[in-house]
Structure 1
Amino acid sequence: MAQPPVNQWKTLDKDLSRIGQLEDATHFVARPLVAPGIALAFIVLVALVATAFVGGEPGAILVIAAAAIGAYMALNIGANDVANNMGPAVGANALTMGGALAIAAVFETAGALLAGGDVVGTISSGIVSPAAVPDAASFVWLMMASLLAAALWINLATMLGAPVSTTHSVVGGVVGAGIVAAGFGAVNWPAIAQIAASWVISPVMGGVIAAACLAFIKARIMYVEDKIAAARLWVPVLIGVMAGTFATYLAIKGLKKIFDITLGTGLLIGLLAGLAFWALSVPMIRRQSEGVENRKKSLKKLFALPLVISAALLSFAHGANDVANAVGPLAAIVHAVQEGDIAAKVDIPSWVMLMGALGISMGLMLFGPRLIRLVGSEITKLNPMRAYCVALSAAVTVILASWLGLPVSSTHIAVGAIFGVGFFREWHAERRARALGLSKGKPVAPEERRRRKLVRRSHFMSVAAAWVITVPASAALSALIFVILRAITT
């Protein structure tokens, strides 16, 4: 009887198996380090670009260090703030995560470069009086400490899964370093009080408007007998309202940095755009609704395209406005180092603006998906109709706040709108359940009503806490960094 063949390679197979397991383990451990590695490479690249522009000038080391910090700040803005624009569209399944990242990267960059403006205020909207800062050197350290503190705070908030206001982070940083550099009297405390009030005003306005929009859709489209006929009538109107609102939004928040546009002119632009898009959408909605079933699920696809367009426009406007949070302090440092004085307004060099635009887009691509998922699906469940209400509310609230002269945060508005939609759904569902139970003689038990909550309370509390402590946390961090920087250099 023949003997079975002996495996001559048994030892080698075991060794190769161990090597394969080691490679798998290495890949598993290294995967989380890829994004931070790319981000670090981007920061180093920005520092090298800054060296090419200012390498031979006095104070070049300060500018290069500030450029690296500005790149870090831009990455964090992209990781945290852009989620508010793309989260609803992804949560409603109108966009895939990859599609959302691509659209946001393109429109954030376009908004920053095309409408980002050439001039920014150096002390963040008059939070600290430039005249109170002792000298240009103190001003440079103040700006650098503010920028680094804001970036560190936003990075921490992103790691904790909390969408926070990047503008408030920068303001807090300026306040903290400003107090150490120039004293409490240098801070514009009425402006700080307005910002504190916006912690309540922004989310409440956003939530109320989003809830009102959803109530209208439910009453006029979703809960009528002929849903398709109602959709053909009202969806073009809603698209026109959305188009007009965003045209006004872009005019007064983004394009005004290119053209001198008043609120009245912006509203006129919005009216014309709204009428044009209403007329164009009537035949489009009629074609899309042909042959579909008369049920709520059929209505979702009619809102998908408007939702995608609104997400893109929100990203454009965000890039136009919030790039200043990354490049404004950097531009101020460049001016102070090169000119030796403190200016109320400074020009932004082209390479600085490009760095901010690319940094925001890269931060979104590398670190944005986590907060996009949280905003889009973990606070409350969204569909295209609810997400449409969130996007419309964000634009309408910013316009109303501009008209009323209120300082509001786009982050607070968008997240507040999501909570508003969720809480309205809870109220509406409980009202219908109670009415249905009474009609059948079976009232819904309190335990069952609690189980049907449609908003995660844990997220509500954590987000609210992050908003409240953003300014004091970034202020304390900035004050500490300013003290350290001044001690090192004196």
Structure 2
Amino acid sequence: MAHKDLEARHLDTLDRDLGRFSNLEIAAAAVARPIVGIGISFIFVVFAGLAAMLFFGQTPNALIVVIAAVFGAYMALNIGANDVANNMGPAVGAQALTMGGAIAIAAIFESAGALIAGGDVVSTVAKGIVAPDSIGEELVFVLAMLAALLSSALWVNLATLVGAPVSTTHSIVGGVMGAGIAAAGFAAVNWGTMGGIAASWVLSPLLGGVIAAAFLWFIKSRIVYRDDKIASARVWVPVLVGIMAGAFAAYLALKGLKHLFDVSLGHALAIGLAVGIGVWLAMIPVIRRQSVGLENRNKSLKVLFAIPLIVSAALLSFAHGANDVANAVGPLAAIVQALGTGGVSGAVNIPLWVMVIGAFGISFGLFLFGPRMIRIVGTRITKLNPMRAYCVALSAALTVIVASWLGLPVSSTHIAIGGVFGVGFFREWDAERRLRSARLTVPDRPQLAPEERRRRKLVRRSHFLTIVAAWVITVPAAALLSALLFLGMRALVM
């Protein structure tokens, strides 16, 4: 008996020791993971510099191009770590996609969008904010672009560390503006362009939030709150999927494929209408088959929205890659062209090797550092399910179309996050409305204490305030940092 007790104590001690070793391994893995990510990122940045050396090694300006390629690769990594989460966060938060699936889809479609439809979108970044002619010397313009690249990358990196999804477009715009002012004064800046960008600070999240909330209200009123939810879903889900397909067809025509074909707003809307009607008709028998045997409850409805949500996330990633790759390599392309041809008076085009740096940098940044920001967007602002996340994705496409019609520049980051906030605040309003209705029906129902009501808020106010503050200071912070970096570089070089 004593021998058995001794053996049992020995086994307990062994279990505790194994448990300690297991915890130690988990802690070591948690510490090593970011170090591995930083190491892989460093290798990628070095390869970007080597690629630049391969193409410009025999020219007198090779060192500048290598430095610019390194800065561009660093910016692309930060775009992947921060910006891509806006497309994938809602789908992951709604559990329509696993983290691994989201990263794989985003990496493929971001790279495809950048390489297939990236085109010459760099013109605004390179010339629309600050006129190169106003800066004068070629070397001064190159230093301004270098400062813009590094400052915007540093700012996005800082925002990622504090968990704030910011607009990489606004970051690079602020960087170019700050360096341009430091190089040639306030007159060098195109203040009309800057005014439109400032208007988009308010317009993007507001439009995204209102459209997402409106579609969530429609889904709740027409499907969720109906007695026979499945019968209502058979009628309205094909319509909603058709609207989504049409919106994304127009969105891709405007924001992605316009770099391959000449597409006006009218043509994009016609394409969207045709695609939307076709998908609506095709989805009617599909939804009927999917809904067979489903129980009449909200959980069953999630099945019908899962696949459209995954497709929408992939399409958003394609359009994002086609447009936002310019934030990483636009200044790099301008530097390459300025040093190669002696100016940027013509259209600024991205060489293939430069585009590859941007595309692969975004994918690496997403894979290595994106999961944290995806979780913040998908789960920590407000709780999402496939229906709510669908509304966020749809609002992103529709907001871009509305903004294009109005002729106003918008940020895809602000739209997506605004959609998440819009869904969350609508849920708060709807819950409060139903609570008031219940009190009218049952007057004696006990009321919640004010502290409990605040605790039950469906949008986390701390994340809301952090994100809004980061949005407001993105352009001025990137501009100030860029101006300081430019002055430092000019003092060293000239």
Q: Scaled by the length of structure 1, what TM-score is found?
A: 0.94
* Alignment-derived partner of residue 71 in structure 1: 73
2:487 & 2:37 partners in 1: Cα distance? 32
Q: Which of 56, 77, 82 lines up with 1:54 in the alignment?
A: 56
Instruction: Describe the SS at the equivalent of 1:67.
Output: helix
Q: In the alignment, is the contact (CA less than 8 A) between 1:139 and 1:342 conserved in 2?
A: no
Instruction: Describe the SS at the equivalent of 1:347.
Output: coil
Q: In the alignment, is the contact (CA less than 8 A) between 1:120 and 1:346 conserved in 2?
A: yes
2:178 & 2:61 partners in 1: Cα distance? 24
Q: In the alignment, is the contact (CA less than 8 A) between 1:179 and 1:186 conserved in 2?
A: yes
Deviations 1:68-118 (A, max 9, x none): 110001000111100000000000000000000000000000000111114
Q: Which of 228, 245, 265 lines up with 1:243 in the alignment?
A: 245
Q: In the alignment, is the contact (CA less than 8 A) between 1:123 and 1:129 conserved in 2?
A: no
Q: Scaled by the length of structure 2, what TM-score is found?
A: 0.93
* Alignment-derived partner of residue 289 in structure 1: 291
Q: In the alignment, is the contact (CA less than 8 A) between 1:83 and 1:372 conserved in 2?
A: yes
Instruction: Describe the SS at the equivalent of 1:368.
Output: helix
Alpha-carbon spacing, 1:27–1:379, altered in 2? closer, same or farther (3 Å) = closer
* Alignment-derived partner of residue 485 in structure 2: 481
* Alignment-derived partner of residue 188 in structure 1: 190
Deviations 1:421-446 (A, max 9, x none): 00000000011011112211135345
1:217 & 1:484 partners in 2: Cα distance? 55
Instruction: Describe the SS at the equivalent of 1:293.
Output: coil
Q: In the alignment, is the contact (CA less than 8 A) between 2:129 and 2:193 conserved in 1?
A: yes
- State the AA in 1 paired with 2:226: V
Mark the runs of 5 or more structure 1 residues left unpaired by the alignment. 1-16
- State the AA in 2 paired with 1:478: S
1:410 & 1:90 partners in 2: Cα distance? 18
1:344 & 1:80 partners in 2: Cα distance? 32
Alpha-carbon spacing, 1:386–1:26, altered in 2? closer, same or farther (3 Å) = closer
Q: In the alignment, is the contact (CA less than 8 A) between 2:126 and 2:334 conserved in 1?
A: no
Instruction: Describe the SS at the equivalent of 2:458.
Output: coil
Displacement after TM superposition at 1:193 (Å): 2.1
- RMSD, aligned CA: 1.8
Deviations 1:367-416 (A, max 9, x none): 10011000001000000000000000000000000000011101001000
* Alignment-derived partner of residue 12 in structure 2: none
* Alignment-derived partner of residue 33 in structure 1: 35
Q: Which of 317, 322, 332 lines up with 2:334 in the alignment?
A: 332
* Alignment-derived partner of residue 5 in structure 1: none
| Higher mean C-alpha displacement, 301-310 vs 336-345 | 336-345
- State the AA in 2 paired with 1:483: L
Deviations 1:213-246 (A, max 9, x none): 0000000000011110100000000000000000
* Alignment-derived partner of residue 384 in structure 1: 386
Q: Which of 467, 473, 485 lines up with 1:469 in the alignment?
A: 473
* Alignment-derived partner of residue 415 in structure 1: 417
* Alignment-derived partner of residue 359 in structure 1: 361
Alpha-carbon spacing, 1:347–1:229, altered in 2? closer, same or farther (3 Å) = same
- State the AA in 1 paired with 2:74: Y
Alpha-carbon spacing, 1:437–1:319, altered in 2? closer, same or farther (3 Å) = same
1:346 & 1:75 partners in 2: Cα distance? 23
Displacement after TM superposition at 1:197 (Å): 1.6
1:170 & 1:162 partners in 2: Cα distance? 16
| Higher mean C-alpha displacement, 78-87 vs 451-460 | 451-460
Displacement after TM superposition at 1:122 (Å): 6.1
Displacement after TM superposition at 1:119 (Å): 5.8
Instruction: Describe the SS at the equivalent of 1:345.
Output: coil
Q: Percent identity?
A: 66
1:456 & 1:249 partners in 2: Cα distance? 30
